[in-house]
Structure formats: structure tokens, C-alpha cells
Amino acid sequence: MIIERNMEHTDLPLVVIPACFPSMAPYLERGLDVIATKARVRMHTDMTLDLDEIMARLENANVAMTTGIHFNNAMLDALAPTLRCLTFGGTGVANFVDVNHAHDLDIMVCNAVHYGDNAVAEHTIALLFEITHKAGRLDVRTRAQGWPGSDITEIGGMTMGIVGFGGIGHRVAELAHGLGMKLIVWARHPDTETLDRLGAERADSIDDVFAKADVVSPHLALNDSTRGIITARHLDMLHPGAIFLNTARAELVEQGALERRLNNGDIFAGLDVFDPEPLPDDAPLRDCPNTVLTPHVAWRSDKALAGIVDQNIRSVVAFLDGGSYNIV
């Protein structure tokens, strides 16, 4: 389905939404009238990752509002004659587009920030609960087997180790503290006031977190300095029975290191992010023991989706007015 506004006014800039998640479509549609006061708008309400189709839909676009689409440099080059602004429905835009190359082509790139701090934090804790309390797996087994026996594990009193202490890390710490967990946190720029309020231990290094924690959860942005920052050596520090959670970026972990550690069979992992995505059918992680896997959905709550759309629309309107908002 295609929704259009002002298409007869060919003197106006063209804003195109080439694809969107179905759950995001209602929020985007409600925002179209705001953009239509300043531009033509064409919105495709389906989600496709077919790059040829994406390029066809973006023909002559001056602004592209995108979510989940990977733009290679050749695509940017082809769009550059008309495209002047690209908004991304998320924070980690550098995983989807070469920002420096876009800048070289005079394409403004905008993202959305802090929209999903609570959603991602809650999902992190949900993965922890599924590993320790097994509610989802026991539901499946109870329906299939009648009355399966199983022990569970309490998380109260466990030590939660957090690597990175931005918005999501803060919220994970608050939730974990509320559940009676102890906290140890490593961050380059620690918020000492919050750490003190939560009674958290400030780690001197990432090594300290992996050596002392029962549960480790990284919450770092992915960039050149953080890619592979969690190494096989760190994972080997986890004690038997420890839990590794990742709702941030898979690339924070040294390639192949987590699979190797999991195959020892003595730790657990709850993962919402992978490299590559979608997770291939033959990905080794699918066969690793003691894992709970979800398909990168931690950010997709109703409130988070509304926040993304609101920020992206503000970015588009600011660009059309000759200004800027959330430039990367």
C-alpha cells in the first residue's frame, strides 16, 4: 500500500518512506500531515529489504525516512544527485550506512536517541528471567508433556555486571537493583551519583566485571573503539553457571568467541542481537547449548516506536526548514 500527500505540487521537495515495519506504520501515517505542510510525501507501508526495490522507491527523493535498511556506498552514490537528508529509525546508524561517505556526498544523516532505553532494559531483564525461571520454555513443555518437572534459579542476591552506563545501562541497573541484585559497573565516564544511589561497585576494568559478576550485560554503542571489546579472554573469566546477556550489538564481542565459550556447556546466554542479521539458518549460535535467542526486538515496544517516529519527523521538518535535529 502506498500513501501519498501533495504529489501534485511538484515544486515541493519529495520525502519518501521506502519501507517500514507494520507496527511502525500507524505512527508514521499520523505524522505525514506535519511533513505535508512543507513537502510531497510518499509512504510505502510494507517492509522490504530488497535493495533494488528500495532504490526504485527512492527515485528522485530529497529526503528518505528509513528503518532497518542497509545502504552501501554505491546506493548512496546513486541517490546523491537528489537525496539531501536520510533519517534512520534507531541510534546505531553507523551499522547501516557509511556516515562519512554520506557526508562527503552532502547527505545529512539523522538518527533517534534514547527512545528505547526502557524497552531494551526490560527486554534484557526478560531474557534473564527466561534463563533463570524458564517460563516460556516450561509453557511449551507443559502443553506438550503435561507436567514436566524443573528447578528454577532466583536472581535476588546475584551480581549484575554492566559494561557501559548510558541510558540503557542506567535503566538495567535500576531494574536489577529493584530485583535485589548487587551491581558492578564499568564505564569510561561513570555517573558516580547514580552508582552511589544504587549502591553499585565501580569496576576498574572490564576484567573486573567478568571476574566478579554472575550476570554480565554490555550496553555500549558500537564504534571503532568498542568493536570486539569483549574478548574470548573475558568470556573465559565467567564462572560456571554465569549468564551473558546482549541486547546492544553482537559486534561488541570478538567474532566467534561467544560460540566457543557456550559450547563448553557451563554458561548461559540471552541474545537479541547477532552478526549478521537476520540470523542465518546455519548460524552456529542456533545449536549452542543454554541459549535464549530473540530476533532483535528489544527496541520494538509501542512507546519506543512512537518515540522513533516523533524524532525522525522532527529531523525531517527541521531539515525542510533549513535547520537540523539529531544529526549524526
Q: Which of 40, 249, 251, 261 is catalytic?
A: 249
259 is catalytic: no
Region 39-53: mean pLDDT is 96
Region 222-227 average pLDDT: 92
Q: Residue 241's closest CA among 125, 137, 132?
A: 132
Q: Is the pLDDT of residue 130 over 90?
A: yes
Query: How far is CA 163 from each of CA 233, 245, 303, rounded to the nearest angstrom?
Result: 15, 11, 25
How far apart are alpha carbons 160 and 155 in whole angstroms? Answer: 9
261 given a catalytic annotation: no
Q: What does the pLDDT read at residue 274?
A: 97
Cβ-Cβ contacts under 8 Å for 328 (sequence gap 6 or more) = 88, 93, 94, 99, 109, 110, 111
Q: What is the rounded average pLDDT of the residues 110-126?
A: 97
What's the confidence (pLDDT) of residue 217? 98
> How many angstroms separate the CA atoms of 216 and 246, rounded?
8
β-strands 14-17, 182-186: how paired?
unpaired
For residue 183, give the amino acid letter: L
Q: State residue 92's pLDDT score.
A: 83
pLDDT band at 51 (very low <50, low <70, confident <90, very high): very high
pLDDT at residue 198, as a whole number: 97
pLDDT reading at 266 higher than 90: yes
As given in the structure block, the three cell numbers for residue 154 are: 532466583
Strands 40-44, 2-5: pairing kind: antiparallel
Dihedral pair phi/psi, residue 238, rounded to 5°:
-65, 135
Strand partners, 61: none
Q: Which of 141, 296, 300, 314 is catalytic?
A: 296
And the C-alpha cell for 149?
Answer: 518437572
**What percent of the chain has pLDDT above 90?**
93
| Over residues 14-24, mean pLDDT | 95
- pLDDT band of residue 295 (cuts 50, 70, 90) is very high
User: Using CA atoms, how far apart are residues 93 and 112, in angstroms rounded to an integer?
Assistant: 9
Query: How much is the average pLDDT of 210-238?
Result: 96
What does DSSP say about strands 243-246 and 85-88: parallel, antiparallel, or unpaired? Answer: unpaired
**CB within 8 Å of 30: residues ≥ 6 apart:** none
Q: Which residues contact 41 (CB under 8 A, 6 or more apart)?
A: 3, 4, 5, 6, 14, 15, 16, 17, 32, 35
Q: Residue 64: pLDDT above 90?
A: yes
The number of beta carbons lying within 10 Å of the beta carbon of residue 193 is 8
pLDDT of 223 strictly over 90: no
Residue range 190-215: average pLDDT?
96
Residue 204's pLDDT is 95
Distance, CA of 74 to chain centre: 25
Residue 173 is predicted with a pLDDT of: 98
Q: Is 277 a catalytic residue?
A: yes
**Confidence band, pLDDT 50/70/90 cuts, at residue 127:** very high
The arithmetic mean of pLDDT across residues 72-82, rounded, is 98
Q: For 122-151, what is the mean pLDDT?
A: 95
Nearest to 218 by CA among 110, 127, 305, 155: 127
- Per-residue pLDDT at 190: 87
Residue 167 reports pLDDT greater than 90: yes
Q: What is the pLDDT of residue 302?
A: 94
Mean pLDDT of 254-283: 96
Residue pair 71/95 in contact by the 8 Å Cβ criterion: no
Q: How far is the C-alpha of 95 from the C-alpha of 299, rounded, in Å? A: 16
pTM of this structure:
0.89
Q: Which of 59, 114, 277, 286 is catalytic?
A: 277
Which grid cell is 190?
Answer: 561513570
Q: Please check the confidence at residue 285 and state whether its pLDDT lies above 90.
A: yes
